């Protein structure tokens, strides 16, 4: 299978230098309305697909994003490997604003979002023991080294519901759990990408110390935007390098991202809901067509 690199992120991320034939295409999804059209382009011959997570102009709050529609639309756009670029707060003294963190684990504290493509009429269970694809993370790390971008490999990202920032008590609680960064968007995105058999990795851009830090005060949107603006060039250089060095043929995933549904569907074929199966045509078509 040919590689198609997908990127979900904010403004500036879909303005990469060197893109050939950029074209915004709106992709309909049976799961709802994606955040925006998807930018189709090529970079040194590699197909790339960009989706603004909050919509151009930051239209959607973290809770209002239709994560199922976004992942389904990226799957329909042919994406095999998905890189999430996300702003986050730091829960550790040594993870200072401006640093990029290549996350390895997640804690999901969201409660108002649809978290699976599956359910009544077609039940499936996929493993989230290793939620990111190590080969994809390796390629991002190699690109960061080549572009002299300051990063940390490893760490746990706790996803809160938002749109409010955490209280001091919550921030201290997450620190006591061993979490490293805090954000509002990577769950259920990572879970849905796994169900869609995409390799997934997160570049978490530290914009601030969460409110636990006694010397930095409360989280301030103005300061977050300033750090994001300062990071824009680094993020662009990093993503361009990832794309240019990316394998043109899809690599097998060591943790099974590319075959997550192989034995995951539990519902007997005769008991599966045809209407739900029709919505699953992109996400689970590989295994459903074989079963049929």
Catalytic residue among 72, 81, 108, 208: 208
- 144: region left, alpha or beta (phi > 0 left; psi from -120 to 50 alpha): alpha
DSSP 129-165: SS-S-HHHHHHHHHHHHHHT--EEE--EEEEE--SSP
Q: Is 209 annotated as a binding residue?
A: yes
**205 annotated ligand binder:** no
The reply to whether 90 sits in an annotated binding site is no
CA distance linking residue 89 with residue 165, whole number of Å = 10
**Can 208 be counted among the known catalytic residues?**
yes
- Give the number of other CB atoms < 10 A from CB of residue 282: 21
What DSSP string describes the chain? -B--EEEEE-TTTT--TT-EEEEEE---BTTB--SS-EEEEEETTEEEEEEETTTTTT-S-TTT--HHHHHHHHHHTT-SEEEEEEEEEESSTTS-TT-EEE--EEEEE--SS---S-BTTB-B----SS-S-HHHHHHHHHHHHHHT--EEE--EEEEE--SSPPPHHHHHHHHHTT--EEESSHHHHHHHHHHTT-EEEEEEEEEEE-TT-TTT-S--HHHHHHHHHHHHHHHHHHHHHHHHHS-SBPPPPTT-GGGTTTTTB-S-GGGS-HHHHHHTTTTSHHHHHHH-
210 labeled binding residue: yes
Does the annotation place 11 within a ligand binding site? yes
Is position 200 annotated in a ligand binding site? no
Residue 233 is among the residues annotated as catalytic for this protein: no
**Which one is catalytic: 36, 210, 220, 258?**
210
Flag whether 185 is marked binding: yes
Q: Is 87 annotated as a binding residue?
A: yes
Annotated binding residues for phosphate, as ranges? 11, 53-54, 86-87, 185
Give the residue numbers marked as catalytic: 208, 210
Annotated binding residues for substrate, as ranges? 184, 208-210
Annotated binding residues, as ranges? 11, 53-54, 86-87, 184-185, 208-210
């Amino acid at each position: 299978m040919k590689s198609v690199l997908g990127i979900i992120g904010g403004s500036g991320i879909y303005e990469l230098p060197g893109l050939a034939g950029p074209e915004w295409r709106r992709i309909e999804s049976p799961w709802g309305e994606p955040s925006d059209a998807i930018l189709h382009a090529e970079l040194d011959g590699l197909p790339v697909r960009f989706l603004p997570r909050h919509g151009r102009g930051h239209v959607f709050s973290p809770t209002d994003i239709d994560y199922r529609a976004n992942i389904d639309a990226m799957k329909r756009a042919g994406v095999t490997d998905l890189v999430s670029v996300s702003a986050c707060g730091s829960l550790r003294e040594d993870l200072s604003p401006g640093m990029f963190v290549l996350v390895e684990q997640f804690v999901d504290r969201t409660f108002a979002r649809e978290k699976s493509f599956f359910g009544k009429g077609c039940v499936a269970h996929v493993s989230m023991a290793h939620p990111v694809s190590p080969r994809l993370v390796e390629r991002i790390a190699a690109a960061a080294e080549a572009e002299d971008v300051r990063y940390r490999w490893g760490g746990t990202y706790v996803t809160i519901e938002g749109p409010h920032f955490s209280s001091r008590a919550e921030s201290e609680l997450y620190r006591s759990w061993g979490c490293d960064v805090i954000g509002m968007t990577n769950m259920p995105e990572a879970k849905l990408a796994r169900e869609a058999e995409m390799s997934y990795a997160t570049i978490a851009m530290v914009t601030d110390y969460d409110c636990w830090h006694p010397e930095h005060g409360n989280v301030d949107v103005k300061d977050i935007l300033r750090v994001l603006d300062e990071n824009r060039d680094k993020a662009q250089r990093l993503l361009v390098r990832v794309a240019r060095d990316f394998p043109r043929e899809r690599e097998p995933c060591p943790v099974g991202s590319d075959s997550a549904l192989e034995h995951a569907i539990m519902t007997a074929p005769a008991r599966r809901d045809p209407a739900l199966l029709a919505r699953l045509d992109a996400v689970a078509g590989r295994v459903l067509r074989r079963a049929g």
